[in-house]
Amino acid sequence: MAYPTDRPATWFVTGASRGLGLELVRQLLERGDDVAATTRSTERLVAALGVTDTSRLLPLSVDLADQAQVTQAIAATEQRFGHLDVVVNNAGYGYLAAVEEVSDADARAMFDVQVFGVWNVLRAVLPGFRERRSGHIVNVSSVLGLLSFPGWSLYSAGKFALEALSDSLAAEVADHGIRVNTVEPGYLRTDFLRPVSLGMPRSTSDAYPAVREMVEQHLAMPGTQLGDPAKAAAAIITVATAGEAPLHQLLGSDSLSLAAGRLKALADDVEASRDLAMTTDITTAGTAVS
């Protein structure tokens, strides 16, 4: 187990007002756990949950890109509930555009949420986790953190960075009794592909018809996604409570299929690279030096 079972667990969940985050908070409260939930609107979160008893809920309006606000939120969580067991870095949003169409401001805003915001949370929680020699971090990535499509460059870049951060973190904190998992959902039937959760470029180019077609397809997708957000939220709880999930936990049959295809493509690239790769080592008297 990632935390003691003789008391309710305390969770810190970012991006909780919609979609997967909202469903996760709802299920955690139903379990009887304590939850600190970050959102841009605490009123919207409480209304969406439909709860009247907020004794186990601490809604927090936090700018994740602001280290001071994040540190204060972690401190408020521990002050309210006395401890912190599981952190779920879930905040994020989609963005559909060709690489050329992504502005500097939009790129930085995406990384503020998906990378630097996560880093702010980690800096705030890791000292306490290390001191207690316990704690569990679940970073919500995406199958698009393992592969990318035309038009998904910005979103995937952030998720690829989160994957690398998570892999390093898991190895660094294992000796401190801290567990780390990355979950990679496929397409979930949420508002993720609706305007409320989706960024778009201010201007587009006629040079990328395939991207325009992809955008149209994705904007028409809501309501047809295979993934059930309630089941995905339950899976995240299982990852944290069972303690047996792999470092990379895929969620959804589409995620599995896409990841398997990516593995094959990568393996093919490795083999195709072999001959030229073997020519670039330093050699001494005809012997390669590794």
Q: Residue 118: give its domain's CATH number.
A: 3.40.50.720
Give the pLDDT band of residue 8 (cuts 50, 70, 90).
confident
> 19-31 and 42-49 are packed helices; what angle lies between their axes, rounded to 10 degrees?
60
- Residues spanned by the domain of 182: 10-288
Report how far apart, in Å, the C-alpha atoms of 11 and of each of 38, 217, 243 are: 11, 36, 15
Residues 210-241 pLDDT 10s: 999 999 999 998 889 999 999 999 999 999 99
CB–CB of 184/146 below 8 Å?
yes
CB–CB of 234/26 below 8 Å?
no
Catalytic residue among 134, 159, 166, 255: 159
Report the number of distinct structural domains present in the chain. 1
Least confident of 50-59, 112-121, 179-188: 50-59
Give the pLDDT band of residue 1 (cuts 50, 70, 90).
very low
Whether 4 maps to a domain, the answer reads no
Whether 5 maps to a domain, the answer reads no
Query: What's the whole-number mean pLDDT along residues 60-75?
Result: 97
pLDDT for residue 266 is more than 90: yes
Residues 117-132 pLDDT 10s: 999 999 999 999 999 9
Whether 52 maps to a domain, the answer reads yes
Whether 3 maps to a domain, the answer reads no
- For the entire predicted model, the pTM comes to 0.93
Whether 16 maps to a domain, the answer reads yes
Catalytic residue among 17, 93, 134, 141: 141
> 153-173 and 104-111 are packed helices; what angle lies between their axes, rounded to 10 degrees?
30
Specify the pLDDT at position 5: 57
Annotated catalytic, 159?
Answer: yes
